[in-house]
Chain A
Amino acid sequence: MGSDARGRRHASPAWLRAGREARPHAAMPRGQKLVAQIVETSREHMQPAFVERLDAWDLAESAGMELPPVMIYGEDVTHIITEEGIAHLLRCETPEEREQAIRGVAGYTQAGLARDKRMVENLRDRGIVQYPQDLGIDKRMATRDLLAARNIKDLVLASGGLYNPPKHFRNW
């Protein structure tokens, strides 16, 4: 699932490009599987999605497991996408850069607030961390105006009358 099976017979352009981005100076060209994690920095009730220590450690201890149960190891993750921005982890050159790239898109979680601002700005200059404005996106345009259907009436019209909303949603 998340792990990168490194040998592969059939190359795809994305797999080849990720391989180039991850090892720009390698003598032998290789591919890399794309593992992109899309996540909101905070889940319900402000529970952070980014933490300094995984629950897997406690679980391993309480359940008597040999290892902390981890489904996808961090080193296999190539990109993290949050509402704050994109971290191109595969292009980080050191573990420290990787750490700061993750903190750079972790928003207002404790892990995000503990970022090294200068290092994140440096990663941003190199396009390893990208915020919406770096991609030419104006966040302020995120209003209802961009939705295909802005209200219940639009949904009824779009469905060609198939959608019959409950009475209390009809205000026209």
Chain B
Amino acid sequence: MEQFVMKFQVTNRLTTSTSPRVCGVVSSGNLEVLVESGESEDICRIDVNTPAEGFRDIWNAVLSDFVERQPVGGVRITINDAGATPAVVSLRLDQAIDIFRSEKP
């Protein structure tokens, strides 16, 4: 089990702030993504809990691409990973941001 926090300096702020949202489930090859409002507007904080050790570089690459692709300033994300591939991680993150932005409960 590996736990770490990554903080990214972001210029694009996510404007709609709604209640926390969850996307995905903790099951084999999948992951759970929790999105909520963070403390600072120009920071995106991502907490990662993963059972696979020694893939920090790949996490960094996947998450860097994600914060470049999406407006995530002022957002705090928590990931509970269960051995998801990078493609699934990117997908769930995009879906989570999508759900977080939408007004629907």
Residues of A whose CB lies within 8 Å of any CB of B are 40-42, 45-46, 83-84, 107-108, 113, 139-140, 142-143
Residues of A within 8 A of B95 (CB): 140, 143
Residues A139 and B91 in contact, CB atoms below 8 Å apart: yes
Residues of B within 8 A of A46 (CB): 52, 55, 58, 85
Residues of B within 8 A of A108 (CB): 58, 61-62, 86
Q: Shortest 4 CB-CB distances between A and B: which pairs?
A: A108-B86, A83-B87, A140-B95, A108-B58
**In the bound complex, CA of A140 to CA of B91 (Å):** 6
Give 29 pairs: A residue, B residue, CB < 8 Å, sorted on A.
A40-B85, A40-B87, A41-B85, A41-B86, A41-B87, A42-B85, A42-B86, A46-B52, A46-B55, A46-B58, A46-B85, A83-B85, A83-B87, A84-B87, A107-B86, A107-B87, A108-B58, A108-B61, A108-B62, A108-B86, A113-B61, A139-B91, A139-B94, A140-B91, A140-B94, A140-B95, A140-B98, A142-B91, A143-B95
Residues of B within 8 A of A107 (CB): 86-87
Per the CB 8 Å criterion, the residue count for chain B at the interface is: 12
Main secondary structure of the interface of A (DSSP, over half): loop
Residues of A within 8 A of B52 (CB): 45-46
Q: Which of B20-47 contact A (CB under 8 A)?
A: none
**In the bound complex, CA of A111 to CA of B98 (Å):** 30
**In the bound complex, CA of A142 to CA of B55 (Å):** 25
Residues of A within 8 A of B58 (CB): 46, 108
Residues of B within 8 A of A83 (CB): 85, 87
Closest Cβ neighbor of A141 among chain B residues: B95
Q: Which of B76-105 contact A (CB under 8 A)?
A: 85-87, 91, 94-95, 98
Q: Please give 7 more A-B residue pairs, beta carbons under 8 A apart, in addition to A45-B52, A46-B85.
A: A42-B86, A46-B55, A83-B85, A139-B94, A140-B94, A140-B95, A142-B91
**In the bound complex, CA of A108 to CA of B86 (Å):** 7
Residues of A within 8 A of B91 (CB): 139-140, 142
